[in-house]
Amino acid sequence: MARRRKPGKKRGRLFGLLVLVLAFATAAAGGIGMWLINTPYGPESETFVEIHPGSTTNQIAHVLSDAGIVRSPLAFKLARWFNTTPQAKLKAGEYKFDHPATPAEVFERIAHGDVYTVTVTIPEGSNVFEIAAILERAGFTTRAEFLDVARKDTSWIADLDPQAKTLEGYLFPDTYKFARKATAQQIAAQMVRRFRTVTAPLGLAQSSETVHRVVTVASLVEKETAVDSDRPLVASVFENRLAKNMPLMTDPSIIYGLEVAGIWRGTIYASDLKRDTPYNTYMHTGLPPGPVANPGLHSLRAALNPAQSKYLYFVASGADAQGGSHFSATLSEHNHAVQDYRRAVHKAGGR
């Protein structure tokens, strides 16, 4: 007579089998998940992806998948799930991908805000015309667009310099990292913010001199010497001449006036010294109407704290225009220094 199996044993075996199947399925899913997030995928050439502010993880996952950066939206979402800091905030911006990477690596880059930027150096003493040309060559904006912003957006510095007609003097010279699609307005705003940050420790806004005057003097100092140790002395020459109501007779202001008028020919001619522009410091006493360049920190410090001297003149002390200067208190001494400079230039093969 056959023995009947007890229903409980059958159910137990079925349950055990189900558990085993689920375990295998879970292991398989986990294995597939790990493969998805740890297997490199993506483009071999430059591909740019824009992550817009406020994008959700799901939206970012689809943007990356559509651009071919990850295999699927699921791969990126799994990378977030398995990340040690899944609550990390994903940063907006433009990202460049130029080689296959794992979704885990892609997630880390976006979580850290490793956005693509273009590095641009604005040398100390650059004026708005030169900055506009640098930015145009770097592919950011046109010269005309940047100059338009520099002329119109003076409200950014109205609290510092109510007299300012342009942003000249307040576009701090530095090395910047700009987003590839940065506009002229965004770039100028970042440069003005940098000016504020760098000059805050100087107490520029709290000084007894107006910011407009300090920055104007600093711009002249910046253009007249490349030697930091000479800057306070150059500033003292300008202050001494201003105190005596002597014309400053500084070539950088002549050049700037010609650039503003659109007639700068690349070198100063004798006729330019007689051209009546507001920036002609040979014809007009006092400071020019405003800064003629964007000064660096050393020149700003010199303008705030000029040396105490009796000097009224200076000229290059050798043929190297980037070298130091010879300072004189009298015209006779200055004339001798000028003759020495001319001999040095002639000996070096110049005119």
Which residues contact residue 39 at a Cβ distance below 8 angstroms, ignoring those fewer than 6 apart? 71, 102
Q: pLDDT-derived band of residue 28, with 50, 70 and 90 as boundaries?
A: very low
Domains 47-115 and 118-202 share a fold: yes
Lowest mean pLDDT, pick from 70-84, 189-203, 278-292: 70-84
Taking the model in full, what pTM does it have? 0.82
Hey, which residues does 49 pair with through a beta bridge?
95
Task: Please tell me which residue, 172 or 203, carries the higher pLDDT value.
Answer: 172
pLDDT in tens, 211-256: 999 999 999 999 999 999 999 999 999 999 999 999 999 999 999 9
Query: At the top level of CATH, which class does the domain 47-115 belong to?
Result: alpha beta
CB atoms inside a 10 Å sphere around CB 245: 8
Which residues contact residue 267 at a Cβ distance below 8 angstroms, ignoring those fewer than 6 apart? none
Residue 347, CA distances (Å) to 221, 319, 342 in order: 28, 8, 9
What residue spans define the domains of the chain? 47-115, 118-202, 206-347
Query: At the top level of CATH, which class does the domain 118-202 belong to?
Result: alpha beta
Q: pLDDT-derived band of residue 17, with 50, 70 and 90 as boundaries?
A: low
Asked whether the predicted pLDDT for residue 154 surpasses 60, the reply is yes
Chain position carrying tokens 């002549």: 254
Task: Please tell me which residue, 12 or 51, carries the higher pLDDT value.
Answer: 51
Chain position carrying tokens 């699609």: 181
Q: pLDDT-derived band of residue 8, with 50, 70 and 90 as boundaries?
A: low
CA angle 299–178–91, rounded 5-degree value: 130
Confirm if 98 and 45 have CB atoms less than 8 A apart: yes
pLDDT given at position 126: 98
Residue 42 region by backbone torsions, left for phi larger than 0, else alpha for psi between -120 and 50, else beta: left
Q: pLDDT-derived band of residue 27, with 50, 70 and 90 as boundaries?
A: very low
- Cα atoms in the 13 Å half-sphere on the side-chain side of 112: 9
pLDDT given at position 346: 74
pLDDT given at position 25: 43
Confirm if 170 and 161 have CB atoms less than 8 A apart: yes
CB atoms inside a 10 Å sphere around CB 291: 30
